[in-house]
Each structure stands twice: as structure tokens, then as C-alpha cells.
């Protein structure tokens, strides 16, 4: 994986130089403007507002926001929600405690591991979005939904976000605009993605959860994740590797690849329509530029196979909120923001190691069979691996991101074309 550049991207320097001539020296209306009201954007906004900064969030859709997701919050995500004061706002009827992960092979053989404290949480994205938005408003964040950030311009003393509803000036622009981030591209922080193209699709079913574990059904290079998200609803997310490019994807057809699961769900009515996302692999060459920061999926993503995206998104938001007051005091230069990049990189490296290991096992049947056999013989190993992957890191140590970007990316917030 390519190392991050230690200097500002060329585009960033160009912006700054252009600004010096054009600086209007008017004080910006906000300290921070956030593009994207997903978990990364809202957690960054909350954390920054909790530290006294004036924050506006521009979200192109209307809150609360649904998204293709397995909806399993791993222990670090639960801890991050606690830290920003949002966990208590989650509707109890719209979530379920998760005790751990159970991996289930085609023939039904299973191995499981218990989560470290504080355990996990299955939460529908709509419910999570509702709680985060409520907490953000409580903290004094101004949320502008139905407002897309279409571009930006950096000046010496401020950054101007161009939105569908006019311009907003701030000290810093946080681009938390998701997997296919437009702002990442505009900031020249993206790198081409190399590797298999993997996608995901999800649907909910009305059926009482039969387990307090996230169940992962494995069929070749496909995995189906079952997450309890309420007393009578489970979410099913299927991840797969694209062999032949196709826009026609059918959730039903994919579900049939997992006969044990398909049988269980045969009589359960669908409780949502299918939503797809991908390709998942996104590379970046850095997470900061002058007065500009990437957060969450926008800052790079590998795969959903380990269910850590929300942990990274929330932790990166939290880390950013902690670092921003000082960085702004120092002029929000690349250098001042580099601390955030270091913090998120540390966390991302851990995610990259676990995700790559699991992806390798899923791609090569021999490695897969071998690792399942090892885990069956030494079940404690699974728990130790989770303990390592979900280690408690204070926000100051949290999150990192490496490099990834789409080749022919599709809009991940919308259902894939042809998804039925």
C-alpha cells in the first residue's frame, strides 16, 4: 500500500496560492463545515461542537438516512457512541445487543467468538442516523439536510464550501461524503484501486432473531451476514466479489447460495427493500490538505468483511473533533492537521491487517478450510483476534485510513441499478 505523501497535494498548494491574492479576510461563519451527515460526519460534528466549535453539517439527503450496511456495531463503535453521548439516544426497540460472531460453513459447521466489552450492537441505519442527528442538534450543530456540497475553494484564512443552497465559509471543511466521495476526488487525494471489486447488498426480514450473534454464512467468495436489529427484525447483508461486471443483481438469487439461511428466512416477509453499495475498495494518498480533511469511508476503505466501517467512521469523527480546536488555532494547515492523519492511520492499519487476512481466507478455499479448522480446534484464537482488532483506543489514538478509490464507481447511497 502506498505511503501517504508528507507534503500538501499540488492542488492544495495551488488553492492556497490563488487565495493569497483573493483573500477577503472576512471571518468565516463557522469553524467547521461538514459535508455528509453519515456516522463519520455527524460524529465529527458532535465531537467538535462538544469542544466549543461552531459547526454546520450539509447532508444531500434528508435525515434520517438509510444505507446498505450489515448494521453490526463492533465494540469500538459502541464505545465511540458512548463518548459522544449518542448511545443513550438510540431507540431501544430499534436495536439488539450482540454477543459475538458465529462463522457458519456451507455444511453447517460453525465456530464462534465472544466480543470483548462492551459487546456489540445491531442497529438499523435509520435508527442510528436518528440518534446521531438528535445528539448533534443537542450539541449545537446546525444540520442542513437536502443540501449537497458540490465543490470548495480554499482561501488563506478560510475555506468556502459550494453547496446546492449557496456558499458556506468555515475554517475547515470535513469531507465525510462516503465511499464514492466527490470531494476526495476534487482534493486530488484519491488513488486508483487495485484488486477484486467487491460489492454488498442488504435487506431486512421480519422474524424474531434466533441468535444474539452476528452470523456469517460462507459460500465460496460470498458471505451473508445476519444481524439482529430489533425484537422482530434481522438484517441480511450479502458481500460478493464481482467476477463479470453486471448491473443486474438480485438479492433473492444471492440468498439462494446460502441454503441453510434461505430455508430459515423462507417464510419471513421482507421488511425493507434491497440496497446495494460498492465497489468497496477505495484508496487515498492522504487524509488532509490545507483546511481540508477526509473522514469515514471517504478517507479510504477496504471491505465490509470484518464489520468495522462504523467503528472507523465514528472513531475518525471523534478523533477529528478532538484535534480540530488546536489545528484551527494553528491555521488549519496541512501540518496542523497531520496529527489527525497520524491518529487515523494507526487505527486503519489494524483494520487493514484483519480485513486483508479475512479476505485472503475467503478468496482461497485451502486457506479458508485451514483457518476454519484451526479456529475449531482453538476457539480461543478467534476471541484473541477480535480482542486485538477491537482493542480499546482512546480517541487520541483512534482511527486511520489508507488509500483507495473506485474504478467506475457507482453511487453507494442508492440501490444498485437493477437490484430487485
Ligand X SMILES: Cc1cc2nc3c(=O)[nH]c(=O)nc-3n(C[C@H](O)[C@H](O)[C@H](O)COP(=O)(O)OP(=O)(O)OC[C@H]3O[C@@H](n4cnc5c(N)ncnc54)[C@H](O)[C@@H]3O)c2cc1C
Of 12, 143, 310, 416, which lies in the binding site for ligand X, with binding defined by CB under 6 A?
A: 310
Contacts 24+ apart (CB under 8 A), 270-274: 270/203, 270/204, 270/205, 270/206, 271/203, 271/204, 271/205, 271/206, 271/233, 272/66, 272/202, 272/203, 272/204, 273/203, 273/415, 274/201, 274/202, 274/203, 274/415, 274/419, 274/420
- Interface of this chain with ligand X, residues 18 to 37, rule: CB under 6 A: 35-37
Q: Which is nearer to ligand X, 94 or 178 (CB)?
A: 178
Of 87, 124, 158, 202, which lies in the binding site for ligand X, with binding defined by CB under 6 A?
A: 202
Pairwise CA distance, residues 392 & 415, whole Å: 34
* Residue 294 engages ligand X in binding (rule: CB under 6 A): no
Contact (CB, 8 A) for 235 and 227: yes
CA dihedral 302, 146, 31, 336 (to 10 degrees): 20
Stretch that binds ligand X, among 101-109, 131-139, 290-298, 340-348 (CB under 6 A): 290-298
Q: Which is nearer to ligand X, 156 or 398 (CB)?
A: 398
Stretch that binds ligand X, among 38-46, 102-110, 250-258, 387-395 (CB under 6 A): 38-46
* Residue 209 engages ligand X in binding (rule: CB under 6 A): no
* Residue 130 engages ligand X in binding (rule: CB under 6 A): no
Q: Give the DSSP H/E element, type plus range, for residue 104.
A: strand 100-104
Contact (CB, 8 A) for 30 and 163: no
Q: Which is nearer to ligand X, 12 or 294 (CB)?
A: 294
- CA 355 centroid distance within chain: 14
> What is the closest distance, in whole angstroms, from the C-beta atom of residue 269 to ligand X in the complex?
21
Binding-residue pattern over the window 239 to 268 for ligand X, x denoting contact by CB under 6 A: x-----------------------------
> What is the closest distance, in whole angstroms, from the C-beta atom of residue 33 to ligand X in the complex?
10
> What is the closest distance, in whole angstroms, from the C-beta atom of residue 235 to ligand X in the complex?
8
Q: Measuring CA to CA, which residue among 390, 395, 393 is closest to residue 320?
A: 395
Interface ranges with ligand X (CB under 6 A): 35-41, 58-61, 65, 67-72, 74, 77, 148-149, 176-179, 182, 200, 202, 237, 239, 277, 280, 296-298, 304, 307-311, 313, 413
Amino acid at each position: 500500500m502506498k505511503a501517504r505523501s508528507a507534503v500538501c497535494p499540488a492542488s492544495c498548494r495551488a488553492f492556497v496560492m490563488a487565495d493569497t491574492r483573493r483573500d477577503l479576510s472576512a471571518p468565516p461563519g463557522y469553524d467547521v463545515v461538514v459535508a455528509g451527515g453519515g456516522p463519520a460526519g455527524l460524529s465529527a460534528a458532535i465531537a467538535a461542537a462538544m469542544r466549543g466549535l461552531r459547526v454546520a453539517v450539509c447532508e444531500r439527503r434528508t435525515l434520517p438516512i438509510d444505507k446498505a450496511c450489515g448494521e453490526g456495531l463492533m465494540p469500538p463503535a459502541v464505545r465511540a457512541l458512548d463518548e459522544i453521548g449518542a448511545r443513550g439516544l438510540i431507540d431501544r426497540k430499534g436495536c439488539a445487543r450482540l454477543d459475538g460472531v458465529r462463522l457458519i460453513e456451507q455444511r453447517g459447521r460453525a465456530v464462534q467468538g465472544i466480543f470483548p466489552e462492551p459487546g456489540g450492537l445491531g442497529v438499523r441505519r435509520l435508527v442510528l442516523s436518528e440518534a446521531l442527528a438528535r445528539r448533534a442538534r443537542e450539541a449545537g450543530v446546525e444540520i442542513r439536510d437536502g443540501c449537497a456540497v458540490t465543490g470548495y475553494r480554499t482561501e488563506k484564512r478560510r475555506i468556502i464550501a459550494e453547496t446546492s443552497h449557496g456558499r458556506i465559509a468555515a475554517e475547515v471543511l470535513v469531507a465525510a461524503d462516503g465511499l464514492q466521495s466527490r470531494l476526495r476526488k476534487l482534493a486530488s487525494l484519491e488513488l486508483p484501486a487495485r484488486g477484486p471489486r467487491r460489492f454488498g447488498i442488504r435487506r431486512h426480514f421480519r422474524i424474531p432473531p434466533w441468535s444474539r450473534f452476528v452470523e456469517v454464512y460462507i459460500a465460496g467468495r460470498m458471505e451473508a451476514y445476519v444481524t439482529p436489529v430489533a425484537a422482530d427484525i434481522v438484517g441480511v447483508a450479502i458481500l460478493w466479489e464481482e467476477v463479470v461486471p453486471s448491473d443486474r443483481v438480485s438479492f433473492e438469487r444471492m440468498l439462494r447460495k446460502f441454503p441453510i439461511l434461505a430455508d430459515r428466512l423462507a417464510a419471513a416477509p421482507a421488511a425493507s427493500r434491497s440496497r446495494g453499495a460498492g465497489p468497496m475498495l477505495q484508496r487515498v494518498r492522504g487524509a488532509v490538505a490545507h483546511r481540508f480533511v477526509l473522514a469515514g469511508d471517504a478517507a479510504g476503505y477496504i471491505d465490509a468483511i470484518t464489520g468495522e466501517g462504523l467503528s472507523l467512521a465514528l472513531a475518525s469523527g471523534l478523533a477529528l473533533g478532538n484535534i480540530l480546536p488546536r489545528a484551527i488555532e494553528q491555521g488549519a494547515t496541512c501540518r496542523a492537521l497531520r496529527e489527525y492523519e497520524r491518529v487515523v492511520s494507526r487505527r486503519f492499519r489494524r483494520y487493514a491487517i484483519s480485513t486483508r487476512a479475512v479476505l485472503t481466507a475467503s478468496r482461497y478455499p485451502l486457506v479458508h478450510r485451514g483457518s476454519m479448522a484451526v479456529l475449531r480446534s482453538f476457539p480461543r484464537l478467534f476471541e484473541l483476534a477480535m480482542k486485538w482488532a477491537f482493542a480499546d483506543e482512546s480517541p487520541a489514538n483512534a482511527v486511520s485510513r489508507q488509500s483507495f478509490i473506485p474504478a467506475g464507481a457507482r453511487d453507494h447511497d442508492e440501490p444498485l441499478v437493477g437490484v430487485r
